[in-house]
Structure 1
Amino acid sequence: MDWQTLFALVEENCEKVVPIEMASGLCYVYQTRKKGFPFRNVVYCQKKAFAANELEEIVTFLKKYGYHPEVQNALTEAEKIGIK
């Protein structure tokens, strides 16, 4: 596990919430940024894939540093093929 990459990805997430989605043997960790007052609109979203078997380590790491992981079970079919 590359902890530096993970921390760099989530270090500026709003309210230290880290969305994580599970799909196809991978877990996708999201970096999000919001703007506007009072920062209600997500304007930037980037994800990085990690192996699904690393999920427990990722969640433990995030909680240790005060982040709030929000794990969801799976991406929708449209998201899997890149359609929003």
Structure 2
Amino acid sequence: MADEIAFTLPEALRAQKHLRDALGLGEERFPVPAFINMVSDEIEQLRNAGRTDCEIVALVTESSGHVLAEADIARYYTPVEDRHSNEH
């Protein structure tokens, strides 16, 4: 049954926030390297669709309000072969 369940991103974030609230923990924050690692799948797909790292930075800034450097994308991007090493 658990294999049939799939969480949307908003559902997963709501559940995580609820669990953190139950523990009395504050909001989780992601430093730039961790954030870029987390969205490396999307960066790869955007690059494959012809988007530049400059355009990707603009999308992140537009959606989050955080201004990254284009060099941050190149520096912290995790290549596909290194991304899912812990998955079975």
Q: Taking structure 2 as the reference length, what is the TM-score of the superposition?
A: 0.32
Higher strand share: 1
Larger radius of gyration: 2
Q: Taking structure 1 as the reference length, what is the TM-score of the superposition?
A: 0.33
